[in-house]
Structure 1
Amino acid sequence: MRFLRQLFGSTLHQYVMAVVLAVLVVVLNVASGGRMLTPSNLQNLVTSNAYVLVLAIGMVLVVVIGQIDLSVGSVAAVVSMSVALLMNRAGLPWWAGLLAGVAMGAAIGAFQGFFLARAGIPGFITTLAGMMIFRGIAQWESGALSVPVPEQFVYLGAGYLPEWGPTWTGMNNSTLVLGIVVAALLGVRQQTSYRRHVSRLGGEVQNWIPNTRTALVVLVVGWLTWLFGSGRPTTSFPVPGLIVLVLVLVYHLVTQRTAFGRHIYAVGGNSVAASLSGVDIRRVQFAVMVNMGVLSALAGMMFAGRSTAAGPQDGSLWELDAIAAVFVGGAAVGGGVGTVLGGVLGGLVMAVLNNGLLLLGVGSDLSRTIKGIVLLIAVCIDLYLRRKDRPSIAGRLFAGVQLNRTPSPAPLS
């Protein structure tokens, strides 16, 4: 364990989850007779779970500020249904429908954010009401019927990166370029983050640590690039997966490299200290809920594209999948702790488990039981790795902040 902490440092939980994911893939691949690690199955795994990963990215921020959003599935359903109806009955172009869906999601997020940030109603209650309200609206406007979406939406939810260039590479060139870019970005991140961390602590740089991390990342990304890019003709890395990768990059930078990201962790870690240090808590809560509404809308439209239609029952229990992904990824129930990368890793663990059990022919009853046990084990691992005396991100941010409270008067003698 000491060696692992030295190698991976503060990101140990993320690497442990990555190892768990790898072991799970290997075990399920052996148990299924090699059907897990095939290009077609991996492409299907990404396409069928991309919407959950999108929701998990937004849910991480909600959980970090100490809240829970139970309405994400209903919001996704009402937005995808409304957009499908606008495109079919009002003749709205697909790109205008996409923009309209994002605007609807933002409006719904603002509606729920108002009650959380301004009225002071806990997010659990606010979004529970929203779950019922928007589910009812989706069923009412659909008339209990599915509504088809245009071909461009199908590409959004189930398309593949295009083929171009020479054939001597032996794989889809778009996927190859994507793999090179991802490997380069992750490799540079391993080098820079380690050196920045050592410089901040005033320690000595040990080159074997970032080099080992970089080598592991490049090997994994290279292997996945070959698997996704060497499938049957006309297939490659799925477009929904590309959307998830872009969102992960953007939200990782926002949460780890911006003042707003630090404010999110501060609000969840210690709202009193955050308020006294000048953080507008209401503004942060409102923005996080608006963001969750936008990502819910995007997830709903992606799912409608994959299904080629928007249905009144879309989004059922999606909130549970997103919440499970976040907690498996290492977020803390009390807020202040959690990362976008961890949430996506947690979502991939649950997706791989679900896909593997399906390949093995396990029934839905036993499958749910197994996933529940995995969730409990993951939380136990997180509690073990996160020592009680180890401060949260917010705790480190405000370690030097002194609360200027008015001292109590001395007792009369």
Structure 2
Amino acid sequence: MPSGAPQSQWREWLQGAKLQLVVMAAAIVIIMLFFSVMTDWSYLSPRNISNLFRQTAITGILAIGMVFVIISGEIDLSVGSMMGLLGGVAAILDVWFGWPLPLTIMLTLTAGFLLGLWNGWWVAYRKVPSFIVTLAGMLAFRGILIGITDGTTVAPTSDAMGIIGQSYLPSMVGMVIGVGGLALYFGWQQKRRAMRQQYELPVPPMHTSLMKSAAMGIAVLSIILILNDYRGVPTPVLLLATFLIIGTFIANKTQFGRRIFAIGGNIEASRLSGINVEKTKLAVYAMNGFLVAVAALILSSRLGAGSPSAGNIAELDAIAACIIGGTSMAGGVGTVIGAVIGAFIMASLDNGMSMMDVPTFWQYIVKGGILLLAVWMDSATKAKR
């Protein structure tokens, strides 16, 4: 939502966002209860919860990049193939050439950034529809991956490479990071509340803020304790949390974030107000490419290999996560936290159906039905507004 929107519109959007979060929270509770009963409560074991969060990390990082693309009024169908290609490149550098891990990471991230720029250049400056540009990228990147790997799996990756996707934080380190992060968040909330009071802006009652903070603290610390009960907080989860915080800050507290919302809401009004639309869209795609590279490193590290089929249809999971999280396909509306929660819902469904040995075709049908339902709800809500 642009900062210049009327206060009534802002309140309406904020209420809708809060309602969306409540609905998603209820959906998570229902999904977990259902799969827990169907798996004799093994679904809620610390080991499976740890695995669930690791699964969420890859889709969640993809969704963080995708949500900015969709908010800007565009789409990216190439992220699955791009992730597979970048993961294949990382595996080749690690296995075939034996490059040190820092150099492999640097080159992979740079390649992701450049591939994102490539997509963004065609969309922003050549005016080719993003659907066509990224559809072409989806085919081309997959073809390049098959070509450079000769259609074979590149394995096994080194132990150093495994640190990215297979390592865990020591229990004490995870707890210290969690408590420190909560302390910083609560301090920022108090500072924000004081500033709003200073400028005589509306603030929620103190007891409401305290209840919200207590609930968040209990949730975060409970998750860390559960993860510590297995092996500790997985490194991919720490990366997801880091990019979640950075993405939320960009969306809510920077001019760049406000420009993305403005462009998605009304591109012509944004252009007339002085926003460089082309430059902003180019930056959005570059940022998306960088995050795809991060997800690719985690995927290759977790699999211990680079596979020609890696990242297959991952773009659909990322898009579905954004839409389930409340992002509008029309652009201009969405939240980073909503996209990550949507990714968690998608991962929960995958994990639960796999534990129940649900046939693969049914898994696709269920995920497709949920995606259709989420888009329908978005359309119905927009029509009501």
Query: 2:208 corresponds to which letter in structure 1?
Result: I
Match of 1:160 in 2: 168
Provide the C-alpha distance between the structure 2 equivalents of 1:382 and 1:226, rounded to a whole number of angstroms.
36
The yes-or-no answer on 1:47 pairing with 2:54 is yes
Tell me whether 1:305 sits opposite 2:318 in the alignment: no
Give the letter aligned to residue 319 of structure 1.
Answer: E
The gaps in structure 1 that reach 5 residues or longer are: 163-171, 390-413
Residue 56 of structure 1 pairs with residue 63 of structure 2: yes
Q: 1:83 Cα deviation (Å)? A: 2.5
CA offset digits 1:45-78 (Å, max 9, x no partner): 1223321111000000010011110111111111
Tell me, in whole angstroms, the C-alpha distance in 2 between the residues paired with 1:221 and 1:69: 32
Aligned residue in 1 for 2:30: 23
**1:406 corresponds to which residue?**
none
Contact 1:73 1:315 in 2 (8 A): yes
After TM superposition, the score normalised by the length of structure 2 is 0.90
Cα distance change, pair 295–135 in 1 and its aligned pair in 2 (3 A):
same
Q: How far apart are 1:333 and its partner, in Å?
A: 0.8
Report the alpha carbon displacement of residue 373 of structure 1 after superposing the two structures with TM: 2.6
Deviates more, 1:349-358 or 1:95-104: 349-358
- 2: CA distance between counterparts of 1:228 and 1:312? 32
Is the contact between residue 94 and residue 161 of structure 2 (CA under 8 Å) also seen in structure 1? no
1:104 is aligned to: 111
- Equivalent pair of 1:186/1:217 in contact (CA under 8 Å): no
For the pair 1:210 / 2:218, whether they are aligned, the reply is no
Residue type of the partner of 2:226? L
Partner of residue 315, structure 1: 311
Counterparts of 1:192 and 1:372 in 2: how far apart (Å)? 43
1:253 aligns with 2:249: yes
Tell me whether 83-92 or 289-298 shows the greater mean CA deviation: 83-92
Residue 218 of structure 2 aligns with which residue? 219
Counterpart of 1:37 in structure 2 is 44
Give yes or no for contact 2:80–2:311 (8 Å, CA) kept in 1: yes
Cα distance in 1 between the residues matched to 2:270 and 2:235: 39
Give me the whole-angstrom Cα distance separating, in 2, the residues matched to 1:333 and 1:52: 18
- How far 1:189 moved relative to its partner? 5.6
CA distance in 1, matches of 2:33, 2:196: 33
Q: Give 1:38 deviation, angstroms.
A: 1.3
Amino acid at match of 1:151: D
**AA aligned opposite 2:257:** G
The answer to whether the Cα contact below 8 Å between 1:80 and 1:297 also exists between their aligned partners in 2 is: yes
Partner-residue secondary structure (3-state), 1:183: helix
Distance in 2, Cα, partners of 1:77 & 1:46: 21
Q: Percent identity?
A: 32
Superposed CA offset, 1:386-411 (max 9, x none): 6744xxxxxxxxxxxxxxxxxxxxxx
Residues 193, 203 of structure 2: 8 Å contact kept: no
- Asked whether the 8 Å contact 1:183–1:222 carries over to 2, the reply is no
Cα deviation, 1:342-376, whole Å, max 9, x if unaligned, reads 10000001111111122222222222222223233
Aligned length: 372
Specify the alignment match of 2:134 in structure 1.
127
Matching residue's letter, 1:244: L
Q: Which of the pair is proportionally richer in helix?
A: 2
Task: Tell me if structure 2 keeps the 8 A contact 1:64–1:332.
Answer: yes
Instruction: Decide whether aligned partners of structure 1 residues 200 and 288 sit closer, same or farther in structure 2, where only a CA change above 3 A counts.
Output: farther
**Matches of 2:227 and 2:94 in 1, distance apart?**
33
SS of 1:272's equivalent in the other structure is helix
Q: Is the 8 A contact 1:17 1:345 kept in 2?
A: yes
Separation in structure 2 between the aligned mates of residue 189 and residue 367 of structure 1, nearest angstrom: 41
Letter in 2 for 1:292: N
Q: Report the 3-state secondary structure (helix = DSSP H, G, I; strand = E; otherwise coil) of the residue aligned with 2:308.
A: coil
Change over 3 Å in CA distance of 1:191–1:21 after alignment to 2: farther
- Partner residue, 2:279: 283
- Residue 242 of structure 1 is matched in structure 2 by 238
Q: How far has the Cα of 1:128 moved from its partner?
A: 0.6
Q: Is the 8 A contact 2:114 2:289 kept in 1?
A: yes
> Does the 8 A contact of 1:175 with 1:228 survive in 2?
no
- Whether the aligned pair in 1 keeps the contact of 2:224 and 2:232 (CA below 8 Å) is no
Gaps (5+ residues) in structure 2? 1-10
Structure 1 letter corresponding to 2:210: N
> Alpha-carbon deviations, 1:176-220, whole Å to 9, x = none?
223323433454565566676787784364212212211221221
Larger radius of gyration: 1
Which of residues 154, 158, 172 in structure 2 aligns to 1:150?
158
Displacement of 1:254 = 0.9
The letter of the residue matching 2:178 is: G
